[in-house]
Structure 1
Amino acid sequence: MNLKEQIISYSQRIGWILPSINLLFLILIIGFLQISSFQLRERIILYLVSITLLYLINYISFILFLTKKVLPSEEVRGKMMKRFRKGDDRMQSYLFPLAIDDDHYEIYGRTITYNPIGGDFYNFLTDPQENYWIGIGDSVGHGYLAGLFSMMIFQRMSILVQKISEPFEIIEKINRDLETRMEGFPAINPSLYATFLLIKADKEGNIRHSGLHPSFVLYKNQTNENQIVETDGKFISTTMNAGLKSIQGQNEFQMKSGDIIFCFTDGLYEQKNRGNLYFGESLFRFLEEVPKNNLKKIADGLFAEILIHTGGRIQDDMTILMIRKK
């Protein structure tokens, strides 16, 4: 990272606090000297001393920032483990699927939750025809209610992929089941909804996907390029799809050997630093630059980058799900 990038990063991390202190200091010094009885020469000397002192304070602050720019690996791991102990490790260990690594695909997911029970979820499994089904979603809100809503979708997906062949039909069926459930249990909050992306992949790399969810990234191994793929379809909701009734929203493409799909929830790029700036485009720069040979290391490295950006705190659940074609 060059000096210009370091200064920009420094400005983003400190936000408005230090500039406000600088401005207040200058206002106080100017006000004091204006009403003081010092001679002009003495005022000039005091102005120069004050400016020099202010410069030294800012310089020292910048140097201290540079020495902590990259957190020691042990500190990063400590911050990550602190997040895991808040509940992520339990959901990951007991509920979410184990990684797949067979002759056709490598599939790996990782999540960190804001609360012990989060609204993010992912699932992947195979059907009787040996197709691969991969889903990732994000229920609105935090805590146990969002988690229960997510687990309902998780459970319905696991059952329906064994009987229905099209991703958009499964999403339609989940929504119909949700309507039926709400008729039987009126206490269910009707404003609950989830973004959801459902992907079906056969052994040859033919991909079909449906659902409204943040766009995902397709890494093309032959050209070493990343492509952003838009999603289309419906939410998991009884109220959010009013203008989407006639939309099936299913798209398809083909993966070749070495290609990777990167899916994520909005919590990844919406994490803010102390300067109130999002991780945002840093996510896509990370995916462009990171070595693509190990999916687990990609997830670990990405979460470490985000924790450095935020200073070890997060404001939302965040999940990454990766699919590599063998």
Structure 2
Amino acid sequence: MYVKKLLSLFLIFGVGTSIFPETPTVNLSNLGETPIFLAKSMLVFEDQTLNLDWDKIQSETYKNKFQTFPSSEEAFNFSYSKSTFWLKVHISNPTEEEIHSNLVIAYPRIKTLDLYVKEKLGIKRIPSGYSVPVEKRPYQSRFFVFPLRFAKHSETELFLKVNSPNAINLPIQIWRQKFYDRHEIDDHVMQALYFGITIAMIIFNLFLFFILRDESYLLYVLVVFSIAITIAAYNGIASEYIWKNSPWLDQYAINLFISLVLILFLLFMRNLLQTKKILPKLDPINLVLIALQIILSIAYILSFDTFIRWLVISHSITSLWILIIGVMCSLKKQRIAYFFLLAFAFLFLALIVSTLRALGYIPTNVFTIEGPQYGSAAEMMLLAFALADRYNTIIREKEIAESKVKHNLERSNLDLEEKVKERTFKLNQTLSAMRRDLFVAKNIQENSIQVDPKLLKELKLVYRYLPVSEVGGDFFDIIRLQNANYRILIADATGHGVHAAMITMAIKGLYDPIKEFELKPNQILEIFNDEFMDNFVSLNSLLTAMILDINFNEKTIQFASAGHPAAVLLHDGQKELLTKTGRMIGLKKQTHYDLSFAKFHEGDRLFVFTDGVYEAFNSKNEEFGEENLHKFLMATKDLPLGQVEENLLQTLEHFQNGPDRQDDLTILGFDL
């Protein structure tokens, strides 16, 4: 806290501001479909005495003690503090309309969070925080939401009183009410998808446990269930739906559940990796860490303030130990350890990010808040693959043993065949379930790239998306920006199949939060590349991507390309290639991408595609090639778009003349 005070003083005097800065003003005329983040526009006063009320804060003694406070763009992070923090901001509505808005604090573990609205008509206090039952809050949500109305040509001061025994993180946003309602619906859909997949994984592996009687599946079910409960407590879903009136659980639950996750993970690791046999000298440390988590959890309940930091630090130490065991088992060439290590790496990264954010060492933003949920989802999927691989290994070993028994015991041939049939039947059941899961994954991926029918009509768009297998590594996204502006993203992850499909989900997860930013395509690509390097560099995957902004009023195309195949613009009987402006995504952080421009006229045609369109090989290993593709597009420029793309697919099929397609194929055609 002393460091934060010194930093605050440095910012006050170092940049030449006054000792008593005026309250910054937030202009609501700038409030559109996306929220305004208020952290940079708020002044802060820290009350270490805990005995100041509203009247004292408004007195001349304290009125000018509010100061600027270091924060990220999105949030304040006061870490663990016993102080009460007062924040204030000035809101101006210079417009001719009454603005209905929601003030949102997107972090569920704040005990006291009172809002004071100071207007000409008087003062209004709105209490909230997890100490207030959900039914009595101004807005029932997993976050803390205050519906506010700002009259036209009005000036309003907002004050927040904040106090909590948990880490105090304050992502403060103001939304237009109708856009927040839409955002909340999308958020609930994503949460339902996450917990729906989790429940499916639990039921599926519980089913395998009852069939195979392998306790690894039961431990996996317990790990997944505990992670789901932890995520529900972490992101406020549990407070909204499970324990609505339990401040004690809101205060204590998350760290207790993290301890439970780590205990179950240690037990699961000992069973799956057979550490007692593979690492006999190190295995006792696993038991010591299990005991440590139990002891610290009990001490944490008895004395929250004394042991909270120790418990949080023990989580990081235990996680690091699990990661070390995974590395050591991998070095011993234990096949299943590769899956385990990759799976836990996601969870470890998410836990470290969460811990560092709680301790105040890294800023609070969308990534550091939602990271644990994304990490847990990846971890659950990869552990499921590990168990599937273990199952296949067991089956292979048993089949070899059965073959030897069959060779040595000819007289038991009939009995052995019955056993093989029984095992084969069970295997087919399991494989059918896995195929259903893959079918679900295919539907999820197809739904993630579906285009709004209105956009199809407005853009005169015809597209084809053909993965090599059920799921693929191509991805595209189309949105409408303001006025007549449209933004198109197309990306292609290296490889194809399940691995590449998981990368496309990562692409969507990173791109969705930034795609509506009012930035140029090259700036969006630079942010995306840095986020990809921060989150997924360990996957050793690369991808090409291209973002195009089409303005139909000005008839211009702004674009930036990260090593992606050149798009083709046909106009006046000529072709223009929209070529790459920078290197592939995932090679290096802080990569610069140039911004390029192109003009078009009514009646022109634009094609954007992945390299699977022209990297088609025939039986002689000859490639179809970009040049042939460009000639084909020029030759068919007078045909309808749908006919062009259908003829192209037929041409490629005829060219290959037998061999299957080697890569995913995506092509988008626009009549401009």
Alignment partner, residue 65 of structure 1: none
Cα distance between partner residues in 1 of 2:638 and 2:666: 18
After superposition, what is the alpha-carbon deviation per residue over 1:100-143, rounded to whole angstroms, capped at 9, x for unaligned?
3445x322321211121111121111124552011111100111
Structure 1: gaps of 5 or more residues:
1-85
Alignment partner, residue 272 of structure 1: 617
Cα distance between partner residues in 1 of 2:642 and 2:526: 33
Q: 2:569 aligns with which of 181, 193, 218?
A: 218
Alignment partner, residue 57 of structure 1: none
Cα distance between partner residues in 2 of 1:291 and 1:171: 31
Pick closer, same or farther for the CA change 1:130–1:291 going to 2, 3 Å: closer
The structure carrying a bigger helix percent of its residues is 2
Alignment partner, residue 581 of structure 2: 232
8 Å CA contact retained: 1:118, 1:147: yes
Question: Per the alignment, in what secondary structure is the counterpart of residue 450 of structure 2?
Answer: coil
Residue 271 (structure 1) shift = 0.4
8 Å CA contact retained: 2:616, 2:656: yes
Pick closer, same or farther for the CA change 1:97–1:314 going to 2, 3 Å: same
- Where does 1:71-82 land on structure 2 (aligned, <5 Å)? none
Question: Per the alignment, in what secondary structure is the counterpart of residue 232 of structure 1?
Answer: coil
After superposition, what is the alpha-carbon deviation per residue over 1:125-180, rounded to whole angstroms, capped at 9, x for unaligned?
11245520111111001111211212222343333121232111111111222233
8 Å CA contact retained: 2:556, 2:597: yes
Instruction: After superposing the two structures, state which structure 1 stretch, 142-151 or 227-236, moved more.
Output: 227-236
- Where does 1:1-326 land on structure 2 (aligned, <5 Å)? 90=443, 93-98=446-451, 100-102=455-457, 105-182=459-536, 188-189=538-539, 191-204=540-553, 205-212=555-562, 213-220=564-571, 223-237=572-586, 240-241=587-588, 245=591, 247-280=592-625, 281-312=627-658, 313-325=660-672
Q: How many residues align?
A: 229
8 Å CA contact retained: 1:119, 1:142: yes
Pick closer, same or farther for the CA change 1:88–1:263 going to 2, 3 Å: farther
Amino acid at match of 1:149: I
Residue 94 (structure 1) shift = 2.1
Pick closer, same or farther for the CA change 1:92–1:177 going to 2, 3 Å: closer
Question: Per the alignment, in what secondary structure is the counterpart of residue 607 of structure 2?
Answer: strand
8 Å CA contact retained: 1:88, 1:111: no
Instruction: Kindly name which structure, 1 or 2, has the bigger radius of gyration based on alpha carbons.
Output: 2
Pick closer, same or farther for the CA change 1:225–1:91 going to 2, 3 Å: farther
After superposition, what is the alpha-carbon deviation per residue over 1:196-239, rounded to whole angstroms, capped at 9, x for unaligned?
0100111222110012211121100xx222222322124221xx
8 Å CA contact retained: 1:88, 1:112: no
Alignment partner, residue 82 of structure 1: none
8 Å CA contact retained: 1:91, 1:117: no
Amino acid at match of 2:606: I
Amino acid at match of 2:574: E
Identity of aligned residues (%): 24
Question: Per the alignment, in what secondary structure is the counterpart of residue 284 of structure 1?
Answer: helix
Residue 248 (structure 1) shift = 2.8
Cα distance between partner residues in 2 of 1:286 and 1:194: 26
Structure 2: gaps of 5 or more residues:
1-438
Residue 89 (structure 1) shift = 8.0
Question: Per the alignment, in what secondary structure is the counterpart of residue 211 of structure 1?
Answer: strand
Question: Per the alignment, in what secondary structure is the counterpart of residue 513 of structure 2?
Answer: helix
TM-score computed with the length of structure 2 as normaliser? 0.32
Cα distance between partner residues in 2 of 1:296 and 1:96: 19
Alignment partner, residue 266 of structure 2: none
RMSD over aligned Cα atoms: 2.7
Question: Per the alignment, in what secondary structure is the counterpart of residue 528 of structure 2?
Answer: helix
TM-score computed with the length of structure 1 as normaliser? 0.63
Cα distance between partner residues in 2 of 1:136 and 1:302: 19
Cα distance between partner residues in 1 of 2:618 and 2:457: 39
Alignment partner, residue 34 of structure 2: none
Give the 4+ runs in structure 1 shifted more than 4 A. 86-93
Cα distance between partner residues in 1 of 2:577 and 2:446: 31
8 Å CA contact retained: 2:442, 2:471: no
Higher RCO (Cα < 8 Å, 6 or more apart) = 1
